[in-house]
Amino acid sequence: MGLTKSEIFTKEQNQIALIAKVLGHPARIAILDYLIRLKSCVCGDLVKQIGLAQPTISQHLKELKKVGIIKGTIEGTSVCYCINQENWDTIKSMLNKFLNKNTTDNCC
Amino acid sequence: MGLTKSEIFTKEQNQIALIAKVLGHPARIAILDYLIRLKSCVCGDLVKQIGLAQPTISQHLKELKKVGIIKGTIEGTSVCYCINQENWDTIKSMLNKFLNKNTTDNCC
DNA sequence: TCTATTTATTGCAATATTACGATAAAAGGA
DNA sequence: TCCTTTTATCGTAATATTGCAATAAATAGA
């Protein structure tokens, strides 16, 4: 069916999975890596930097924007994309909360 | 095409994306949530706990096992699945390294 | 206004993912 | 040995994702 049964999971589980899913592509990790290193950025640079076609990059940027990790502000003919620091911090603490649930040893 | 161009990204970017991808499904997050809470677990319990069909759970367990987050030891007729603590720690530190790259404010 | 530049959208092909019924495989107990 | 229990695998349908060519949309400058 290819259709995730979101309704049987908790809100938190769905949120974490949604974020992880967006981070689950090397192009999007590469885009974030690049944005994190810079203070600002335009899509044109990303096309050269990442090495995928412009529509593909645009699509990945859309995904990242959808969950609020990045934001784009129109700057003349081009668009300045950057990390949405506030949201990114929220997302990071959500992920950290999940990652730090497990502290002690398990069985086996 | 549906085919990720892994070859144009760094090893680290691919690794992070691969792990994030596996974490990118609420069923797998729910499974990990459950395994983390317990000391051990059998798939039978998971089928009841999660609420997906047994083959579906088995498939998700396979995904988690593929990247080493969990391990399964045969225990009679059933299988004991648990967190692979050593690997999980490695994965957590990899993700944390990525999440903590960004510390200061960006532009815009 | 016309043109160049930059980014978004559309449409499509190829492949991947999700889910599950049916069935196999493996092991314990009657 | 036969049956039961438990988990894995196969096969398949429905949907999602990835990537890009073509094209649209928006704006700056000549």
CB contact under 8 A, A20 and B17: no
- Tally the domains of chain A: 1
| Under 8 Å between Cβ of B60 and A4 | no
| B38 band by pLDDT with thresholds 50, 70 and 90 | confident
A107 has pLDDT over 80:
no
Q: Is residue A42 included in any domain, yes or no?
A: yes
B79 vs B61: CA distance, rounded Å: 11
Query: What mean pLDDT value characterizes chain A?
Result: 91
Smallest CA–CA distance, residue B58 to chain A, in Å, is 16
A60 in contact with nucleic chain D (CB within 7 A): yes
Q: What is the pLDDT of residue B55?
A: 97
Nucleotides of C under 7 A from a protein CB: 4-11, 13-22, 26-28
Which residues in chain B touch residue A82, judged by CB atoms under 8 angstroms apart? 106-108
Q: How far apart are CA A99 and CA A23, in angstroms?
A: 15
- State the amino acid at position B92 in one-letter form: K
Cβ within 8 Å, pair A33-B73: no
Average pLDDT over residues A86-98: 96
Token reading at A12: 């938190």
Would residue A35 count as lying in a domain?
yes
Instruction: State mean pLDDT over B81-101.
Output: 95
CATH code (residue A57): 1.10.10.10
Q: In the prediction, which pLDDT does B89 show?
A: 96
User: What is the pLDDT, as a whole number, of residue A54?
Assistant: 96
Q: What is the pLDDT of residue A105?
A: 57
Mean pLDDT computed over A55-64: 97
Cα separation, B39 vs A70, whole angstroms: 39
**Quick check: is A72 in a domain?**
yes
A81 band by pLDDT with thresholds 50, 70 and 90: very high
Which structural domain, as residue segments, surrounds residue B74? Answer: 11-96
CB A104 within 8 A of CB B83: no
Q: Specify the pLDDT at position A28.
A: 98
Q: For residue B4, is it within any domain? A: no
| pLDDT recorded at residue A108 | 55
Is the pLDDT reported for residue B108 higher than 60? no
Residue A55 lies in a domain: yes
Asked if residue B101 is part of any domain, the answer here is no
pLDDT of residue B96: 96
pLDDT: which is higher, B39 or B23: B23
b/e per residue, B48-59, with b = 16+ CB within 10 A?
eebebeeeebee
What are the distances in angstroms from CA A59 to CA A63, A84, B15? 6, 18, 21
Place of tokens 């810079």: A38
Give the whole-angstrom CA distance, residue A101 versus residue A81. 33
Q: State how far residue B62 is from chain A, nearest Cα, in angstroms.
A: 17
CB B10 under 7 Å to nucleic chain C? no
Residue B20 domain-assigned (yes or no): yes
Q: Is residue A62 part of a domain?
A: yes
Q: What is the pLDDT of residue B42?
A: 82
